[in-house]
Every structure is written in structure tokens, then in C-alpha cells.
Structure 1
Amino acid sequence: MHKVLIVDDEIFVRKGLINLIDWSSLQFEICGEAENGLAALNLIQLLTPDLVIVDIRMPVLDGLELIRRVTAEGEHQPIFVILSGYPDFSYAQQAFRYNVSDYILKPVDEKELTATLKRIANIMNQRQLLSMTREKPLVEIIMESLVQAEPDDQVMTQIAHTLELPLSAPYTYVIVEFQDELAHREIDYLLPLQTVLQRYFHLERQPLLIHARDYNQYGFIVPPSRPNGQIDDTERMDYRKLLQRLENNLSTKIALFIGHTVEHLKQIVHSRTSADECLNYRFAAGFNGLFMAKELLDMSLYYFDVDEELHSKLIYEVEANRDEGYSNAIDAIFKAFQERYFAPGAVANTVRRSMIATINIIRQLEGTEKNLAWFEELLNWQRKYRNLNQLKHVFKNFIEEAAAYIAEKRGDKGEGNIEKVKKYIDGHFRENIYLKGIAAEFHMNPIYLGQLFRKNYGAYFNEYLLSLRVEEAKRLLRQTKKRVYEIAEQVGFQNADYFATQFEKLEKMTPTDYRNKMIDQK
């Protein structure tokens, strides 16, 4: 990590800069703060920061004078970036005389600062590369430099000379992902992984280019030990053997994400990019832990939610507390993930949607999802579970536990309440009732209630409600002299024309025709 000192007389500016971006992702860490140039002068010698971000106007000692004194007198020479609220060309001109790296105007734009930091990190990496010796090859720095951008020719020549690697040769970047169901870096696999890889590729004195990534991942560059060419059975078999060797020696489940092979070492950034893209296919079917860019990247990913029918089926079976039903629904959902190449974001959205629907049911019953042992595990699944089988195991355990909890809170084991619902409808059909309101009254999910009602009584809720209202309207048309609009209102319709339309749909005649027919029959 490169150390950063922030110098500004406004504390809110300093804290704002610290919180503006993810410094560590750009290879930086904040090592200190100063409120004026004099305090910064002492901290630069004490903390030896690699980068100083300094305000141009400050009390005691301003930014330009600080830079002048450090440049002229200081033993440690950091890179400077100036912040200023004044777009004055004379300031900028003076700053660049001191070889200031950049001049950024306030308020600071996140994208502008991020671009500046990326450029400076690359400069720093290259400086370190050019100063390294054969006895101390800075592998981590080499990897960061290679996989972030194409280094210039001077740097590449130094890398090749130091590591005794050919520049023009086939190179491939591979991501090794440990699927050990542990949080990131709970176990550091770097050294044992390096040992296994060096043995596999028969590297004796030559170092292996390897580095640690996030999410229990490590990246390495395959040495140019085989001739370049298209993917064939032999190459896939080689990677399959490598995967088996890694899993056997490191005693855990592993996946390999293999980028495109490039023709030159300086182009390895493009191989790394394609390996990163392979991560999006981790839930696709048929690859069994081996994901190769040339086989995958032309295939379309699915970025949407799972079909509504599958989602509704799952929630219905959860409310019904039927193990076979929700197990089948889960199987169908996870089969869709694989066969339709769901992107990781689409999988996460589907899981989140199912969780929210289940939690809403629990809360309607005055329960709490925090009583479920698997709730936190599924909520944070992306931190630990990295393949579909692992996710499915956690998801199914959550659903099974939630279904039992919902049944317990409701006080029955399935469909006993549906008779009470029907009796409620029979007694209140003249009122302005609707499915969602009744579901809330009985602490049930509306979708589940609608499906359960149809299963038990052979009609949808709205169909049954309409039949009750029309039957009552027929009775009133026969037995009273009330006007049609009065009858419509009495049986639960807010609009007489709508009542007449629905009546005619069921009875094949208008309410008035029905009354006249009944009178004629007397």
C-alpha cells in the first residue's frame, strides 16, 4: 500500500476526502492528517508518505511553500497533489514548477481524484520496479503493475530481465477461488498455493507471478510452458489436472477462472480482464469449477429476476408448509439459474426477493426473522458461499425453517384457516372487501390466500365474491322494488354501470331484463 498524508486547514475537507473513495482498492492508505503546512512538514519526515494531498492556501505555512521546502530541503521526497478553490493560472503555473503531479479544484470530483490516484499508483509501482534487484523481486508490485495497465517498454524490459522471462510468449492470467465456506482471508492460502503451483509448473529458480485478490481469490500468471494455440481437449485436461491437484493438496473446494491467452507479457491486463468476466458465469451449468474465457464469453448472461410463476409457487408452498412443494420450487429456481446462465447479480436479486416475501409473511404474523437461525447466514451469503450448491444448501435451510416458523405463528399446519376465510367472505360480501385486506385480517400472504382459496373451492376469490353478490342482487330484484343502482350499492358495488356489466356477464341478461322476466313468470 502507498501511504497518503492529507493537509488542509478545514477538518471537514480532510474527512470528506477520506470518505470520498475506497482508498485501499486503489493501493493507498491514509497515514495521517495535518491542518497546516508546518505540521505537515514534520509529519512528512516522520511518516514518510508516498503521496501528499495539500491545500494551496493555509495559515502558518501554505501549500506552495510546503512543497518548495520539502523539495529543496527534505530527505524524503513524496509526490504532491494540490487542492485549490481558486482556478488561478498563476497558482497552477507556480505549482508545476515544483513538479507537482496534479492540480485539482474544489469541490473535489470523485472520478477526477480516482483517475489521478490510479495514474500516481502506476507511477509509484513503476518506480519500485525499476529499483528492484535480482535478490528481491517484488512479485506483488509486479503483479499489480501488470494486471492494472500495460506498463511502458522500459518497465517491461526490467521485469523480463529480473525474472528471466520472455516478453513475447503466450501468457494466461488465472483466478483461483477458494470455496471453503469461510469469510474472506480467514485462512491465508497464498504460500501453500504458491508451493503447489510452483511444483505443478516445474518452476525451480524462476519465481511464480502470484498475488492475493478479494473474496478468497488469488491471481497468478501461467508461465509460457506450452505453445500458443486454441483451446483444445489437451489444454482443458491440463487445467482439470491442475484443479484436482490444488483441491487434493489444499483440502478444499476450488474454482479456476481462466482468461484469454495473450501474445506478450505486457498484455496480461487483457487476460486478467477476461478472467474477471468469467466470474460472471460461476452459476452456469456444466463447467464444474473450470471456467475458461474462450468457452464462455460469447454466451449471453441472464440479468433479470426469476419468472414470476416460480417465485409465486415458492412463496405459496412456504405458506402451506409443504416440504415437497417448496423443495421442488427451489430445485426449479436453481435449475433456471444454471440453464439460463443467470448473472451473479440476478441470482442475488432472486434470493433477496424471496427473502423479503418470506420476511413480510413472518412480520404479518407478528413474528421476527431474527428468530431464524439461517437468516443471517443467507442475508450475508456472498461473503462465504461462492458456488450454486453452497448457496442452494443455505437457501433451502432458510426456507425450511421459515415455513415451519410461519406455520407455528399461524397456529395451524396448513389449510385450516381457509374455512374461516370463506365464512368471513360469506358474511361480508356486501361490504367493500378485497383479497389483500382479507389476507391481512387473517395474517396470510395475498398470493398464497388466492391460490389456496381456488384450490379448495374451485374458483378465484374475485369469481366467488362476484357470484355471491349477483345471487343476492337476483334475490333483491325478485323480492323488492328497489332501483337497480340501490341494489348495486347494497350488494357491494360502488358503480351501478359496472354492476350491470358484471351481472349481464354471468346471467346473459341485464338486471332490468332479469326483473321483467321474473314478473312475467308470476
Structure 2
Amino acid sequence: MYKVLIVDDEVFVRKGLIGLMDWSQLNFEICGEAENGEQALELIERLTPELVIVDIRMPVLDGLELIRQVKTEGLHQPLFVILSGYPDFSYAQQAFRYNVSDYILKPVDEQELTAALKKTAHTLNQKQLLLMTKEKPLVATVIESLLQSEPDEQVLASIVHSLEMPLASSYTYVIVEIQDLLPNGTVDYMPALQSCLMRFFQQEGQTLLLHVRAYNQYGLIVPQLWMSKQITDERTTYARLLYLLEKELVTTIALFIGLRADHLKQISSSGASAEECLNYRFTKDFDRIFIASELRELPLYYFDVDEELHGRLMYEVEANRQEGYAPAIESIFMVFKERHFAHGAVTNTIRRILIAVINLIRQLEGDEKELALLEDLLDWQKKYRNSSQLKEVFLQFIEEAAAYIAGKRGEKSEGNIEKIKKYIDGHFRENIYLKGIAADFHLNPVYLGQLFRKQYGVYFNEYLLSLRVEEAKRLLRQTKRRVYEIAETVGFHNADYFATQFEKLENMTPTDYRNKMFHSN
């Protein structure tokens, strides 16, 4: 990863830039922020960023003067990208005299910044590759550079010579993911991983193209010549490798295997397909071996679970019925597998349920921070890396949340369904509706509707209508009020709608009903 320093006197601009994109996808990480050029000078020497993104106009020391001082006096020489709110050619002219990488106008466009970062990464890659020596190759830099851009022939020749890699071979990029339920980097698996891989591929003493990635992952470039020493097909070979790795490292592991590249300089395409395999981690398990050539015809699903399934889970959570919410969770995770939910779709589904749970708790004047597992679920991607791990902690969280909600509701006697029915019986002439009553009684409207039907055998709206029509019938029999007056009295603001609903229940209009009652007497 290349380090980036953000320099701007506006804190919202700095935070906006940091949140604008997935920096790690472009091989960058934010190492610090500065609000003026003077602060930036100190941070550049201390943090040694490879790239500085700097506003052109700031107090104390502006962007151009910062660049001038770094270029002429600095021990560390990063690349610079300038941000400017001034589309003035003279500013750009001065900036490019200092050989800045790019000049971007505010407000910053994501695509424009992405293009600038890709261009900068390419420049940094080439610089790093050319620093290699035969005695001390920069393996991690080599791999990350190869994955970012295609090197020229001179650089490629230097790589294969320094690392004693076969040039006349196809290559595959493999992601080894450690699923140890620990935050990223808690355990350094690199030594054991190197030893195990060398033995498996019969390359003892050879330099492996192995590097550390984010999210407890390691990336490996495998020459096809090494694979040809195995006498079995691709899946069987990787199954043997997985077995050996899990035995040696004593933890759960998953392998994500990219498409084979015809040449080392095209390994970035294999890397991209291995990255795409990560999207399938919550689909069918594939024995924790995800091979791009097997997955490319399997379309991913990028949406949320059906509303019916989401509503069913939330109903069971409110009812605090483990026999209800446990099967609902099982169904959700089954849908993840069967419909091939992409990683992002799984994230959105979990987030949506978390928000619904938090809203329920707040309606009951509770505090979601009292849930021990909430932080775990909010940041679940850092620890839970397969379907069974995520399902287990998710079920534990829902169990905790359901009990908490039940406890809070128990503190509020208004939650009793009989009291809600009595309230409706006493207020049906008013403009009442399910959502408003649910809010008054600290209930989710969907849950209240389902609970009411379960308890009384009719939907809320049907029951409310029946009360209003029965009262209307009484008034039609016992008073001489006009139909529109009766409609308003029993809670209808539209006489025609009242007449329609009355006829639907009684198979006659209000006027016909009155006439019938009058003539029968």
C-alpha cells in the first residue's frame, strides 16, 4: 500500500476525500491529515507518505510553497496532487513547474480523482520496481506493482532474473484468507505460510511471490510450472493445499483462485478475477475453494432479501420467539447461498436488520449500546469471513436483541394487546391508524398488525371498519342524521368512500339499509 497524506484547511474537505472511495482498492492508505502547509512539512518527514494531496490555498503555508520547500529542502520526496477551487491557468502553470502529478478542481469528482490515483500508482510502481537489486528484491512491492499495472520488458526481465522465476510460464494469482475469527494482523502467519507453501510446491529455498494483503489475506503468484508437478486436476490440487495449510496453521482457511494469465506481465487480470471470487464467499461453500474458472458463469445477486423474509424476522424478534427467528435467520442465509448474494448484498442485508433492531430499541427508549454484540456486528467484516461464522454471531446478536426488546417492552404495560384493542374500541370514531397506534404503544406497525390478527383473527383495518359500520348502522336506525353526517361521526371524511365500504360489508347502501329498517318497522 502507498501512504497518502491529505492537506486542506477545511476539515469537511479532508473527511470528504477520505470517505469518497475505497482507497485500498487503488493500493493506497490514508496515513494522516494536516490543516496547513506547516503541519504537512512535519508530517511528510515523520510519516514519509508516497503521495500528498494538497489544497493550493491555505493559511500559514499554502500548497505551492509547501511543494517548493519539499522539492528543494526535503529529505523525503513524495509525489503531489493539487486540489484547487480556482480554475486559473497561472496556478496550474506554477504547480506543473514543480512537476506535480495532477491538478484537480474542487468540488472533487470521484472519477477524476480515481484516474489521478491510478496514474500516480503507476508512476510509483515503476519507481519501486526499478529499485530492485539482485541481492535484495522487494517482493511485496513487486507483487503489488504487477497487480496494479503491466511493467515494461526491462522491468519484467529484472523481476524474473532477481527472483529466479520462469519467464516462459503462465501464472495464477491465489488469495489465501485466514478465517481465524481474529482482527486483521493479530497473528503473523507469514513464516508458517511460506514454509508450508515451499514444501507443497517443492520449492524449498526459492523466493515465493507472497505478500500480505488487508483483511487477514495473503496473496501468492503461482507459476503453472509448479502446478504441473502435481498429478491431479486444479480443484483436487488446491484441496490438498488447503488441507495442508489448515493442518500446519491450525485455523480455518479459504482459497480464492484467479484465472490463469498467459504471461507474468498479465498477472493483474488473474488478480482481478481472484478478487471477484471474494464476492462469492457467502454463496455456496465450494469447500472453501473458490475458483474463478468455475464461478464466471455464476451470476451474483446484488440486492436485498425479500421484504417478506425481512418482515418475518423482525416480527419474530419483537415476539421474542427463538423458534421463529432462528428459522428466519436460517432462511436468510440459505437465500444468500442459493441466489449467490455478493458480499456487498450480504452487508446491506445485515445492516438493514441492524438498523431495524436499533430503531425498535430506541422506540422503547432503550439504548442499543447495552447490547454486548452490537459492536461486533457493526464491524463484522473484520472478523467473520465465512457464512457459518457470520450466521452464528448473527443468531447470537438477534437472541440478545430479542430478549432486550422483550425486557424493555415488559417495562411498558402499554404493550399489552388487550389494552390496544380497548383503545381502538374507545377511539374508532377518531382519525386513528395502525402506524400511529403502534408509535403510541412503542410497537413496530408490522408487528402490531400481525399480532392483532393472530390474537383476534382479523386484520386491524377490518376490525376498525367493522366497528365504524356497526356504529353507522345504529345511527341510521336511531337518528335522522344525513348519511354524510353519520360518515363523519364514525370516522370517515369522505361520504362516498363510507358508502362504498358500508356496501362492501352489508351488501346494500346506507340509504337502502335505513329504508329497510324503516319499512320493517
- State whether TM-score is above 0.5: yes
Structure 2 unpaired stretches of 5+: none
CA contact 2:304–2:349 (8 Å) conserved in 1: yes
Q: Deviations over 1:425-454 (max 9, x none)?
A: 222212211111222222221111111111
Cα 1:434–1:33, aligned 2, differ >3 Å: closer, same or farther?
closer
Contact 2:415–2:442 (8 Å) recurs in 1: no
Match of 2:89 among 87, 92, 114: 87
Match of 1:168, SS? coil
Aligned to 2:419: 420
Cα offset for 1:190? Answer: 2.1
Query: Which residue is equivalent to 1:169?
Result: 169
1:463 deviates by 0.6
Instruction: Report Cα offsets for 1:53-107 as digits up to 9, x if no partner.
Output: 7899999999699869968xx8979476585854149946982xx8x35462654
Using the alignment, how far apart are the partners of 2:375 and 2:250 within structure 1?
27
Deviation at 1:307, TM superposition (A): 0.9
SS in 2 for 1:221: strand
CA deviation profile, 1:98-143 (whole Å, cap 9, x unmatched): 8x35462654846555544443443343334334222211101111
Could you say what the CA RMSD is over the residues aligned between the two structures, in angstroms? 3.9
Say whether residues 1:464 and 2:463 are aligned partners: yes
Equivalent-residue separation in structure 2 for 1:366 and 1:61 (angstroms)? 49
Any conservation in 2 of the 1:48–1:76 contact (CA below 8 Å)? no
Residue aligned with 1:12, SS: coil
- Higher mean C-alpha deviation, range 267-276 or range 353-362: 353-362
* Cα distance, 1:297–1:427 mapped onto 2, change above 3 Å: same
Amino acid at match of 2:252: K
For 2:170, what is the secondary structure of its paired residue? strand
SS state of the match for residue 169, structure 2? strand
Q: Which residue of 1 aligns with 2:145?
A: 145
Other structure's SS at 2:451 match: helix
Provide the C-alpha distance between the structure 1 equivalents of 2:359 and 2:270, rounded to a whole number of angstroms: 45
- CA offset digits 1:158-199 (Å, max 9, x no partner): 111112222231210011111111111122222221221112
- Contact 1:256-1:291 within 8 A present in 2 as well: yes
Matching of residues 270-289 of structure 1 within 5 Å: 270-289=269-288
Distance 2:5 2:210 in 1: 30
The letter of the residue matching 1:234 is: D
Deviations 1:465-500 (A, max 9, x none): 111111111111111111111111111111111111
Q: TM-score, normalised by structure 2?
A: 0.86
How far apart are residue 248 of structure 1 and its match?
1.0
Q: 1:271 is paired with a residue of what secondary structure?
A: helix
Mapped to 2, the partners of 1:317 and 1:128 lie a distance apart of: 56
Q: Aligned equivalents of 1:265 and 1:145: distance in 2?
A: 12
TM-superposition CA deviations, 1:261-318 (whole Å, max 9, x none): 1110001000000000011111111412111101112211111111111111111111
Q: Contact (CA 8 Å) 1:274, 1:293: kept in 2 or not?
A: yes
Q: How far apart, in 1, do the equivalents of 2:275 and 2:154 lie?
A: 27
2:338 counterpart residue number: 339
Say if 1:337 and 1:347, in contact at 8 Å, map to a contact too.
yes
How far apart in 1 are the matches of 2:457 and 2:449? Answer: 11
Structure 1 residues 514 and 272, CA gap change in structure 2 (3 angstroms): same
Of the structure 1 ranges 325-334 and 198-207, higher mean CA displacement relative to structure 2 is found in 198-207
Please tell me whether the aligned partners of residues 167 and 266 of structure 1 are also in contact (alpha carbons under 8 angstroms): no
1:424 CA displacement = 1.9
Deviates more, 1:217-226 or 1:504-513: 217-226
Task: Give unpaired runs (5+ residues) of structure 1.
Answer: none
Give the SS at the match of 1:150.
coil
Which of the residues 9, 15, 20 maps onto 1:12?
Answer: 9
Q: Would you say 1:521 and 2:517 are equivalent positions?
A: no
Specify the code of the residue in structure 1 equivalent to 2:238: Y
What is the distance in 1 between the residues matched to 2:415 and 2:108?
A: 61
Partner of 1:489: 488
Query: Is 1:202 the equivalent of 2:199?
Result: no
Contact 2:201/2:227, CA 8 A, preserved across alignment: no
**Cα distance in 2, alignment partners of residues 236 and 389 from structure 1:** 22
Matches of 2:347 and 2:44, distance apart in 1? 45
Report the residue type matching 2:361 in the other structure.
I
Residue equivalent to 2:390: 391
Letter in 2 for 1:238: T
**CA–CA distance in 1 between the matches of 2:115 and 2:64?**
22
Confirm or deny: 8 A CA contact 1:171 1:263 kept in the other structure.
yes
**1:442 match:** 441
Aligned position for 2:353: 354
Which amino acid letter does the alignment assign opposite residue 259 of structure 2?
A: H
Residues 251 and 4 (structure 1), Cα distance of their counterparts in 2 relative to 1, 3 Å cut: closer
What is the one-letter code of the residue matched to 1:187? V
Contact 1:256 1:289 in 2 (8 A): yes
Tell me what 1:376 maps to.
Answer: 375
**Counterpart position of 1:318:** 317
**Which deviates the most, 432-441 or 22-31?**
22-31
Distance 1:516 1:238, change over 3 A: same
- Larger radius of gyration, structure 1 or 2? 1
String of CA shifts for 1:218-263, please: whole Å, max 9, x gaps.
11111333578xxx97210110111111111111111111100111
The answer (yes or no) to whether the contact 1:319–1:414 under 8 Å persists in 2 is: no
Contact 2:101 2:120 in 1 (8 A): no
The CA deviation string for residues 36-61 of structure 1, in whole angstroms up to 9 with x for no partner, is 89x97x99999988667789999999
CA distance in 1 between partners of 2:45 and 2:356 (Å) = 58
CA distance in 2, matches of 1:75, 1:367: 55
Q: Which residue of 2 aligns with 1:499?
A: 498
Partner SS, residue 150 of structure 2: coil
Counterparts of 1:29 and 1:432, CA distance in 2: 55
2:135 and 2:162 in contact (8 A); partners too: no
Query: Which is worse superposed, 180-189 or 512-521?
Result: 180-189
How big is the shift at 1:388? Answer: 1.0
Distance in 2, Cα, partners of 1:337 & 1:445: 26
Question: Which TM-score applies when normalising by structure 1?
Answer: 0.86
Q: Which moved more, 1:408-417 or 1:510-519?
A: 408-417
1:18–1:30 Cα contact (<8 Å) kept? no
User: Which residue of structure 1 aligns with residue 406 of structure 2?
Assistant: 407
Asked if the contact 2:104–2:113 (Cα under 8 Å) also holds between the matched residues in 1, the reply is: no
SS across alignment from 1:301: coil
Residues of 2 paired with 1:65 and 1:415: CA distance? 65
2:487–2:495: 8 Å Cα contact kept in structure 1? yes
Asked if structure 2 preserves the Cα contact closer than 8 Å seen for 1:56 and 1:82, the reply is no
Whether the 8 Å CA contact 1:321–1:414 is kept in 2: the answer is no
Q: 1:417 Cα deviation (Å)?
A: 1.9
Match of 2:507 in 1: 508
**C-alpha distance in 2 between matches for 1:226 and 1:55:** 50
| Partners of 2:74 and 2:374 in 1: CA distance | 56
Asked if the contact 1:320/1:413 (under 8 Å) is kept, the reply is no
Q: For the structure 1 residues 257 and 4, does the alpha-carbon distance in structure 2 shift closer, same or farther, using more than 3 Å as the test?
A: closer
Q: Partners in 2 of 1:441 and 1:305 — Cα distance?
A: 30
Count of paired positions: 510
Q: Which amino acid aligns with 1:405?
A: Y
Distance between the aligned counterparts of 1:141 and 1:268, measured in 2?
A: 14
